[in-house]
Structure 1
Amino acid sequence: MARLGRLPTPAEQPRQQPAATAFLTFHCFRDLSNNHLTGEIPFNIGFLQVATLSLQGNKFSGPIPSVIGLMQALAVLDLSFNELSGPIPSILGNLTYTEKLELNDNLLTGFIPPDLGKLTELFELNLANNNLIGPIPENLSSCANLISLNLSSNHLSGALPIEVARMINLDTL
């Protein structure tokens, strides 16, 4: 017969949790912010049916899974304040119902994908504090509802496209 042992107290439990154990499906809102989650964002995250996915303030590393671009119902995606690296997947341009995209304060590299200009419902785009390079895509002006665009603390080059400067709803640049 197996013996039951003592359960660890909260102080004895590990502070880091593997990310794969934290995800469930079929929720409207999944907020796993500031939970000391580590490792890469699991591939199965693409099977979530959520309107809001907030993973900010963890210690996720590695690339942003391209499968996130298939989450058509996603209105808010917040992956900020992690250690995500590599390029921003162009497939995120498929998130046509997304209103808020927060990828700031990571280690993202490469160009801002022009496909982000397809996010016509976007109100807020924050890509600040990464290692992004190159020009600001002109077609970001297609995001006509954009109120806040934060691209600060990157290594962007070139002038601000006149199309972006003329965005009438843009309050914060």
Structure 2
Amino acid sequence: MPKLIYLGLYRNKLIGQIPSSICNLRSLQVLQLSNNHLEGPIPKCVGNLSTSLNVLHLNANKLSGLIPSTFRKNCSIESINLNGNKLKGTLPQTIANCQGLRGIDIGGNEIRGAFPFWMETLPQLRTFILSSNKFNGTMLVTSNTEQPFPKLQVLDVSQNAFVGPLPDRYFKNFRGMINATENQIDEEAAYWFLIFMELKLTLKGLDQLLGRLLTTFTTIDLSSNRFSGSIPPSLGDLNSLRYLNLSHNTLIGHIPPSLGDMRLLESLDLSSNKLDGEIPNELARLTFIGKLNLSMNNLEGKIPQSTQLSTFGNESYVGNVGLCGFPLTRKCAGSDGKPFIPKGGEEDDDDEYGFIDGFGWRNVVLGYGCGFVVGIGIGYMVIRSGRPRWLVEFFFGVGYKYKTKKRRNRAAPTRRGT
């Protein structure tokens, strides 16, 4: 069938290998064999179809071996999805010949090597997913590219072994994540996003399959790596970013207040790092946020109060012993707004009942007991002696001493007569 343009056999139960005879389809524009049980290598000749092929989706199979490196200079491929296979080796640099590439997803494989900096020159790339592979090294490098990844909207490099600081240079140039409503994409790109791009991403803590990708969708996921250093304030410039996940790294320093400028942010996950300091009040400006996770850090001080932040439970802040205020049970006290942190031992139990500064329940009970005994003794002596007169008359009425004396005088003759 040499004139076949579209071949879609996805979501079936096909087994075996992809036959090399498929490369005889010289007019083929769309090849979708995803969600089957295909195995074995991808035919090398698939790269020869790159001059006619627009969509190459082989994801969710059991394919192994290497990614073909035969993509030609006049490559016309716009979408490559190889997610969820058993592919190994490195990402071939010949993919850079596909200057019209809009999205590539090779997540869930065993691809290794350094970050593919050579892809930052692709002018149309909007979706870039390398998650759950074996990439390593740093994402910082000296480059002559003035605007790397100029239209990128989705960057997911989670669950790899990247090290070093976060890629501040990229954050400053992700034009596709800044004023996205003002930079609407063309109709052709919108059609590609809605029809051909199928993504599996971790959103709001859950793995989700996106059958259709909205044109305004933006996300950065750098979680589960070995990134270190502080969070660059330049992240706040991405005012159209909707999902940000930097969890499970070794990031240090304070949470930059500039994150409050990302007014469209729906999910923020900074958990399992080494962040310290207070939660900036600027985060209260995130009125669209539906998922917040700051747990397992070294944060301290009072949690900012706002209509939106007040909806999150204790799980969003657990593991920060210095935090206080609603929704936590630990109250804030003192002019600095920081909590009283117990030092351990029996004093912890005292603090749980609201007694501080060394006055525990045992001391209070002992004080009450001693006071009761002393009070009974003093009371008996006052009543017996009738002194001081003003106190006796206050409690027992005016003339108490006179009446008592009179009763004594009456009793005296009786005793003598007896």
Would you say same fold, with TM above 0.5? yes
Q: What letter is aligned with 2:262?
A: C
Please, which of 107, 127, 133 is the counterpart of residue 246 of structure 2? Answer: 127
Match of 1:96 in 2: 175
The residue aligned with 2:109 is 35
Q: Look up the SS of the partner of 1:19 in the other structure.
A: coil
Other-structure match for 1:78: 156
Paired position in structure 1 for 2:127: 52
- TM-superposed CA distance for 1:72, in Å, is 1.1
Distance 1:75 1:12, change over 3 A: closer
What is the Cα deviation at residue 121 of structure 1? 0.7
AA at the equivalent of 1:28: R
> 3-state SS of the aligned residue for 1:23?
helix
Structure 2: how far apart are the matches of 1:41 and 1:105? 16
1:62-110, Cα deviation, whole Å (9 max, x unpaired): 0114569611100111111111110002112221323211101111000
Q: What is the aligned partner in structure 1 of residue 56 from structure 2? A: none
Shift of 1:12: 8.8
Q: Give the CA deviation at 1:13.
A: 4.4
SS in 2 for 1:149: strand
Q: Secondary structure at the match of 2:135?
A: strand
**Alpha-carbon distance in 2 for matches of 1:119, 1:32:** 25
* Higher mean displacement: 19-28 or 143-152: 19-28
Bigger Rg, structure 1 or 2: 2
Task: Tell me the matched-pair count.
Answer: 165
Structure 1 runs (4+) greater than 6 angstroms displaced:
none
Q: 1:21 to 1:91 in 2, by over 3 A?
A: closer
Q: Which runs of 5+ in 1 are unaligned?
A: 1-8
Flag the structure with higher helix content: 2
Separation in structure 1 between the aligned mates of residue 262 and residue 130 of structure 2, nearest angstrom: 24
Distance 1:12 1:135, change over 3 A: closer
Q: CA RMSD in A?
A: 2.2
> Aligned partners of 1:95 and 1:117: how far apart in 2?
12
Whether 1:140 and 2:259 are equivalent positions in the alignment is: yes
- Mapping for residues 4-19 of structure 1, pairs under 5 Å: 10=41, 13=65, 16-19=88-91
The SS at the match of 2:260 is: helix
Identity in percent: 35
Q: Residue 92 of structure 1 contacts residue 116 of structure 1 at CA under 8 Å; is this kept in 2? A: no
Question: 2:138 aligns to what?
Answer: 63
**Aligned mates of 1:13, 1:78 — CA distance in 2:** 23
Contact 1:96–1:118 (CA under 8 A) maintained in structure 2: no
- Using the TM superposition, give the Cα deviation of residue 22 of structure 1 relative to its aligned residue in structure 2, in angstroms: 7.3
| Unpaired runs of at least 5, structure 2 | 1-39, 42-62, 67-86, 178-217, 293-418
Quote how far apart the aligned CAs of 1:142 are: 0.8
Q: Deviations over 1:135-155 (max 9, x none)?
A: 000001111100100000000
Q: Which range moved further: 152-161 or 58-67? A: 58-67
Q: Do 1:20 and 1:42's aligned partners in 2 also have CA atoms closer than 8 Å?
A: no
CA distance in 1 between counterparts of 2:127 and 2:157 reads 11
In structure 1, give the amino acid aligned to 2:252.
Answer: I
Task: Name 1:87's counterpart in structure 2.
Answer: 165
